[in-house]
Amino acid sequence: RAEDGHEAWLRYAPITDPTILAQYRNLPTQIAVLGDTPTEHAAGTELQRGLTQMLGRPFTVTYGLGQILTSSNAILVGDLESLDKMYVKKQKLPKLKPESYMLGTRNNGAVSQTGIIAADPHGELYGAFRLLELVAANKPIPTTPVTESPSAPIRWVDQWDNLDGSVERGYAGRSIFFDAGHVRPDLARASDYARLLASIGLNGLTVNNVNSDLTTLEPDKLKEFALLAEALRPWGIGMSLSVDLSSPQVVGHLSTFDPLDPTVIAWWQKKTDEIYTLIPDFAGFVVKADSEGRAGPSQYHRTPAEAANVLARALAPHHGVVLYRGFVYNHHLDFHDLKADRARAGFDNFASLDGTFEPNVIIQVKHGPIDFQVREPVSPLFAALQHTPQAIELQTTQEYTGQQRHMVFLVPMWKTALDTDLRANGRGTPVKEIVEGKSFHQPTGGFVSVVNVGLDTNWLHSPLALANLYGYGKLAWNPDATSEQIIDTWTRLTFGNDPEVVSTINELQLNSWHTYEQYTGNLGIGTLTDIIGIHFGPGVGSAENNGWGQWFRADPKGVGMDRTVATGTGYIAQYPKELAATYESLATCPDDLLLFMHHVPYTHILHINKTVIQDLYDEHYAGAATAATYPMLWQKLHGHIDNQRFDQVKALLTYQAGHAIVWRDAVNDWFATMSNIPDAQGRVGHH
């Protein structure tokens, strides 16, 4: 099934080059897994399958202590506990953080041993995948042991799957988990998905939509969810559920769902215990409340903290967590009110609650204050919550970024957010360190991405889009990994090590976010897509004049949202002092966020010494011109990769090139009409 994309980056293509094969000559064919848990079996079979396939010689695997002598050639996979037993405490063992592993090779005379020594079975699995990745990318196996640990405990994926089998903002077919109101009887795709997620170091999966089905917590449903959890379990993927806060009323038939009502508190406790009886390793709840029509504590004049804490207390004895989403805003804002501003909502709703959450509540914050636009500043909420664990929410499904019909490699965008230094309290506090829990000494926190794979054989519809899922996992494990490292390994694993293939695909992917931003919405204006409906294709005016608050406030004289403290919505004051000062002043506000922060005349001169309107025209032309090169660049790979994926991607890139022209002309014409300023190069306006 290699060519249909189902294996994604886990293809384990046979290595034929004899010099590369020689690098792995000493790798022992006996894999000795010291433990016997389902996760350790997953690690063992994966190693056996991958190494046999890639190296073309048969590998064997054994499980349990007593199979192996310290003096034989072997790939040893074990956790500290088993090793301790094996060496009968004669050796000094390393200290390892949870989920970590140490990987290295030792040659002692005729004996060669490659060790994956881990803190726990999760770590063994991650170490196994690392060894396989090294071989697949033709990299040497380290002789001096390397230790790897994840950045943070929360490394989750959200699927927006509905129980009827549809997927909200999913672009790759129907749900792999659900159909017709039930968990699917065949969960092979679910466990294959868990394998993919484990291979990049992820450990949690919320299987149902944040706009959750109100029947989710019914007893019969929970029994079905338990089967799903079982399918994920061997891969170390904990299952969690999105829950609706009205459940005590809808499912429990209580007269209220007021979080402070004793019957409601008792209901959540009982329900949570019931879940853990069925799913002992249940990961926790995800909550979308008081947002886009979902029920919430505001109905009873209670705060998000009061609601979150009730769930958190029910989960705490079982070590579960609540991911309470910071995506709470009013979608009936008054467009005429120049002080109204959706971007303010996260901070306005949550900042004052800092310090009032139970320790197992994590606030899940979208990276930008609006909604996954092609360019946004980071949410100021990250700097405001200093006594509350946080997770950053990123979107792998390309809702506003071309829905997998456009190639847009999002890792550089995510890194821009993660690397943004908010300078909270006047010191270095990059977003990545805040969510890792480092900046404000939080015991937990981390990463969540909305992925929305579907039944399409290749998971995300476009083979190129899988780079985003792969990259998300890599960043969640280590946010310091570079975009270049991530794409290079992904390309090698997905399309092979042919240098022409690797350099062409790397280059295409690395520039794609910038290109998409150019032909959709540059200068921080927002994506300019159809805001009300499906969020695909140009819909320039649709963001204006409605309650959703994704405005850019264009009029005949100027454009941009005035979010300054001096004359605007005051949003900028939500940032720590230094960053606020940078954004507040036109002299220092970066061009790529200008129209997010300021309302300026079309003739305002940018730092690059060009007017706003001319830059808008030029960038749209430049972006479409770059997209036009994509099919030609891809053509060079004909015969270097399999025809099936070659043709599939060629068709997608050809579509993208055409759609980029549609975008260019729609946006440019709209602004030419609105501003009545023609393009200096005569391409737009006055036709």
Residues within the interface to ligand GCU (CB under 6 A) = 168-169, 210-211, 288, 292, 327, 371, 399
With respect to ligand GCU, which residue has the nearer C-beta, 527 or 675? Answer: 527
With respect to ligand GCU, which residue has the nearer C-beta, 147 or 211? Answer: 211
- Quote the least distance from Cβ 371 to ligand GCU, whole Å: 5
Q: Which of 292, 484, 555, 578 is catalytic?
A: 292
Kindly state the helix (H) or strand (E) to which residue 657 belongs, with its residue range.
Answer: helix 643-675
Is 399 considered catalytic here? yes
- Quote the least distance from Cβ 533 to ligand GCU, whole Å: 10
- Quote the least distance from Cβ 535 to ligand GCU, whole Å: 6
Residues 26, 112 contacting (CB under 8 angstroms)? yes
With respect to ligand GCU, which residue has the nearer C-beta, 199 or 396? Answer: 396
With respect to ligand GCU, which residue has the nearer C-beta, 210 or 493? Answer: 210
What angle do helix axes 411-419 and 483-495 make, rounded to 10 degrees? 150
Q: Which of 371, 456, 517, 584 is catalytic?
A: 371
With respect to ligand GCU, which residue has the nearer C-beta, 152 or 210? Answer: 210
Q: Which of 399, 456, 615, 679 is catalytic?
A: 399
- Quote the least distance from Cβ 369 to ligand GCU, whole Å: 13
With b for 16 or more beta-carbon neighbours within 10 A and e for fewer, the 607-633 pattern comes to eeebbbbbbbbbbbbbbbbbbbebbee
Calpha distance 353→43 (Å, rounded): 43
Strand 182-183 and strand 178-179: pairing? antiparallel
If one counts every other C-beta atom within 10 angstroms of the C-beta of residue 320, the result is 22
Which residues are CB-neighbours of 297 under 8 A, at least 6 positions away? Answer: 245, 259, 289, 290, 303, 304, 306, 307
Kindly state the helix (H) or strand (E) to which residue 475 belongs, with its residue range.
Answer: helix 466-477
The residue count for the chain: 687
With respect to ligand GCU, which residue has the nearer C-beta, 208 or 489? Answer: 208
- Quote the least distance from Cβ 209 to ligand GCU, whole Å: 7
Task: Copy the structure tokens of residue 228.
Answer: 């799903």
- Quote the least distance from Cβ 348 to ligand GCU, whole Å: 18
Strand 446-450 and strand 390-395: pairing? parallel
With respect to ligand GCU, which residue has the nearer C-beta, 130 or 367? Answer: 367
Is 281 considered catalytic here? no
If one counts every other C-beta atom within 10 angstroms of the C-beta of residue 581, the result is 14
DSSP 534: T
With respect to ligand GCU, which residue has the nearer C-beta, 169 or 438? Answer: 169
Picking from 439, 414, 437, 431, the residue whose alpha carbon sits closest to that of residue 151 is: 437
- Quote the least distance from Cβ 210 to ligand GCU, whole Å: 5
Which residues are CB-neighbours of 3 under 8 A, at least 6 positions away? Answer: 642, 644, 645
Which residues are CB-neighbours of 390 under 8 A, at least 6 positions away? Answer: 362, 363, 364, 365, 381, 382, 434, 435, 442, 445
Is 292 considered catalytic here? yes
- Quote the least distance from Cβ 44 to ligand GCU, whole Å: 39
CA distances from 155 to 37, 365, 414, 446, 456 (A): 22, 14, 15, 6, 24
Radius of gyration over alpha carbons of the chain, in Å? 26
* Residues annotated as part of the active site: 292, 371, 399
